[in-house]
Amino acid sequence: MENVLRFVFTTLLLVWSSVAFSTGLWSIGATYFYTGRFTIESHHDVCEQPLNNRCVAHYEVRRPDGELDDFVPFIYQFDPSYLVEGWTFAKNRWGFSYEINGAQKPWPYFWSRVEWTLLGIGGLFVWYFVGGPGALKGWLRDFRRQVFSKA
């Protein structure tokens, strides 16, 4: 029974650490390579029916090519006082900051993404030093023995 619990613990640690690491790293990369530029034209709230108790701000923005588009910030990604009609938003590639109406700001949620990535790396180290590779190898050896010896 001890080997099963060790295997379950180390496998869950491996899976969750891998998910945290890869999600954080992907998100950091997506922020780093994202390029966007638009001017805010107007905004309106879209509320969930039937109670209208969950409203989300949608912004109509104009891209540099003149095309109108819908922009929905992620939860509290940008302070609502920064998304004012007529203001210009710009995010250049190769960085973790953006410019709104001429003011440089750090990209929202960046440090939480770094924390997720570091937690994932830490979890992978813990998995390794707790004996995760040995537990996985031992469980797979026992599993093979049980499956192929009955055939």
What's the whole-model pTM score? 0.74
pLDDT at site 1? 45
Q: How far apart are CA 70 and CA 57, in angstroms?
A: 10
pLDDT digits (tens, 9 = 90+) for 19-66: 999 999 999 999 999 998 999 999 998 888 777 678 888 999 999 999
> CA 28, 115, 104 angle in degrees (round to 5)?
55
Nearest to 77 by CA among 38, 105, 39: 105
Both tokens assigned to 85: 């009609």
Placement of tokens 């099963």 in the chain: 4
**Inter-axis angle of helices 132-149 and 110-130, to 10 degrees?**
60
Both tokens assigned to 66: 């003149």
H or E segment at 78?
none
